[in-house]
Amino acid sequence: MSDQERIKAMKLEQVNALWKTYKEKYGLDSPVMIEEVAYDAPDNVEAFFDLIELLQGKYILHMTRRTHLYRPDFVLFIVTHEFTHLYDFLTCPFPVDDHENLFLYMNAYSEYHACRLTLEYLLEDISYFNRDKTKERKPEKKVYVNKNQIPAPFREISIRRLLEEGLFRTKIAYEEFYVTTLPNLFVNSFRQLMYLYGYISHFENDIQTLEQTLRVLRIDDGNYLMLYDALKKVDVDQILHFTKECYNGGFLLFLRNFIRTHYDPSLYDQEELNSVTAETAQDFIDTLNDRMVARGDADLDPASLMAGVPNLENSPAAAFLRGAVETARYSRCRLAGSELLEH
C-alpha cells in the first residue's frame, strides 16, 4: 500500500469512527458504512452525498479539499450535517424508488433535520442562564455565547448572528428568483429556507420569528407555515403535501413569467393568467397554443416554444425539479432532480 493510499485509508477509518458514534447516538441500527471519502467537492460546498450514488448503494462522502485546514470540531460540525442526510436516506419512510417524493423529502425534511442537529451540536457545550434566581432553574431559549465555545467559522459570532446571516442568504436567494424565476434558483432558495427552519426550531419564539421571516421573503401564503409545523411534527404526509404546494407556487411564478415573455399578450388577459393554478397549468398552455395556431401565427411553433417549459407529464412540482437540474446539481446532498425522476 502506497503512502497516499495509507493516508486515504486512515481518513476513511476516522470518518467511519465518527459515523459509528453518530449511529449509536441517534439509535440507527444499520450496517451501512462510508466506503470512500472523496475530496472533490466544488469550492462553494463543504461536503455532500450524491443522492444518485446513494440510490445505487454507493456510500461516498464528498468533501472539500480544504478539509485538512479546518479545526477538528468544525469538521465534526460538517460531517454531522452530512451524516444526517445519510440517516434520513436510510430511514426514508417510503420506497426510495418513489423518486419525486424522495427528492422533495430530502430537500425539505432532511435539510431542516440536518441544520437542526448541527445547531444542536453547536449548543451542546454552551451554557444556558436563568436570570430569575428565585425560579426553578431550567434552560432558556435565549443563549449567552462564549466565543471560545463556538467552532470555526462561528467563533466571533453569536447564535443571533447565525440566524441573521441565514435570513440574509435566504432573502438574497428569493429576491434573485423573483427577478429571474429560474427553477434552479427556487430550489436553492427553498433549501436555504429549510436551513433557516432548522435553526429557528430551537427557539421559544420560533413561530413569531418565522412569521416575520416569511413576510420579509414575501411567501407568507400559509403553505410555508404549515410546512414548518409538519417538519416539527415529522408528519411525512403533510411534509410532502406542503412541500409540493410550495414548489407549485414557485412553478406558477415561473410559468406566468414565461408566458408574459414568450406569448403575445393578445392571446390572453391578465385575469385569466393570474387565475392559472398548478392543476390547470397544462390546460392553459394547450389553450394558448390552440389560439396561436387558430390565429395563423405561422412564425411561432408551439412545440419549439414549449421546449422552454418543464414537462408537465407528472406533477408541476416534478416538472419544476426537471428544470432545475444543471445548476442545482451540487448541494449539501447534491440533489440532481432530472436524473432522479428519469430513473
Q: Is 151 helix (H, G, I), strand (E, B) or coil?
A: coil
- Give, for 247, the enclosing helix (H) or strand (E): helix 236-262
**Is 125 or 267 the better-scoring residue by pLDDT?**
267
Cell of 152: 470555526
Report the pLDDT value the prediction gives residue 252, as an integer from 0 to 100: 86
Q: Does the pLDDT at position 278 exceed 80?
A: no
Q: Is 60 helix (H, G, I), strand (E, B) or coil?
A: strand
Q: Does the pLDDT at position 109 exceed 50?
A: yes
Report the pLDDT value the prediction gives residue 132, as an integer from 0 to 100: 44
Distance CA 81, CA 86 (A): 9
Residue 137 burial (C-beta neighbours within 10 Å; 0-12, 13-18, 19+): exposed
Q: Which amino acid is at 132?
A: D
Report the pLDDT value the prediction gives residue 157, as an integer from 0 to 100: 46
Distance CA 170, CA 186 (A): 11
Distance CA 139, CA 123 (A): 12
Domains of the chain, by residue range, sit at 3-342
Q: Does the pLDDT at position 294 exceed 70?
A: yes
pLDDT digits (tens, 9 = 90+) for 12-53: 999 999 999 999 999 999 999 999 999 988 888 889 999 889
Report the residue count for the chain: 343
**Is 300 or 18 the better-scoring residue by pLDDT?**
18
Of 7-16, 210-219, 275-284, 329-338, minimum mean pLDDT range: 329-338
Q: Does the pLDDT at position 212 exceed 60?
A: yes
Of 146-155, 174-183, 202-211, minimum mean pLDDT range: 146-155
| Nearest residue to 34 (alpha-carbon basis) of 76, 67, 82, 96 | 82
Cα angle: 280, vertex 185, 108; to 5 degrees: 75
Contact 146, 126 (CB under 8 A): yes
3-state helix, strand and coil shares in percent for the chain, rounded to the nearest 5: 65, 5, 35
Contact 201, 117 (CB under 8 A): no
Any residues with CB less than 8 A from the CB of 125 and at least 6 apart, and which? 149
pLDDT digits (tens, 9 = 90+) for 258-277: 888 878 888 899 999 989 88
DSSP letters of 76-106?
A: HHHHHHHHHHHHHHHT-SS-TT-HHHHHHHI
Residue in this structure with the C-alpha cell 423529502, named with its chain if needed: 105
Contact 107, 198 (CB under 8 A): no
**Average pLDDT of the chain, as a whole number:** 77
Report the pLDDT value the prediction gives residue 137, as an integer from 0 to 100: 44
Question: Mean pLDDT: which of 98-112, 158-172, 305-319 is highest?
Answer: 98-112
Any residues with CB less than 8 A from the CB of 236 and at least 6 apart, and which? 93, 94, 105, 109
Q: Does the pLDDT at position 228 exceed 60?
A: yes
Distance CA 278, CA 247 (A): 10
Report the side by side order of strands in the sheet with 36-38.
36-38, 60-63, 47-49
Euclidean distance between the first and the last CA atom of the chain, given in angstroms as a whole number: 38
Contact 121, 60 (CB under 8 A): no
Q: What is the mean pLDDT of residues 302-317?
A: 47
Q: Does the pLDDT at position 327 exceed 80?
A: no
Residue 170 burial (C-beta neighbours within 10 Å; 0-12, 13-18, 19+): buried
Residue in this structure with the C-alpha cell 418513489, named with its chain if needed: 98
Q: What is the 3-state secondary structure (H, E, C) of 10-55?
A: HHHHHHHHHHHHHHHHCCCCCCCCCCEEECCCCCCCCEEECHHHHH
Contact 328, 335 (CB under 8 A): yes
Report the pLDDT value the prediction gives residue 10, as an integer from 0 to 100: 57
Report the pLDDT value the prediction gives residue 311, as an integer from 0 to 100: 46
pTM summary value: 0.79
β-strand pairing of 47-49 with 60-63: antiparallel
Q: Does the pLDDT at position 324 exceed 50?
A: no
pLDDT digits (tens, 9 = 90+) for 131-146: 444 444 444 444 444 4
Report the pLDDT value the prediction gives residue 5, as an integer from 0 to 100: 56
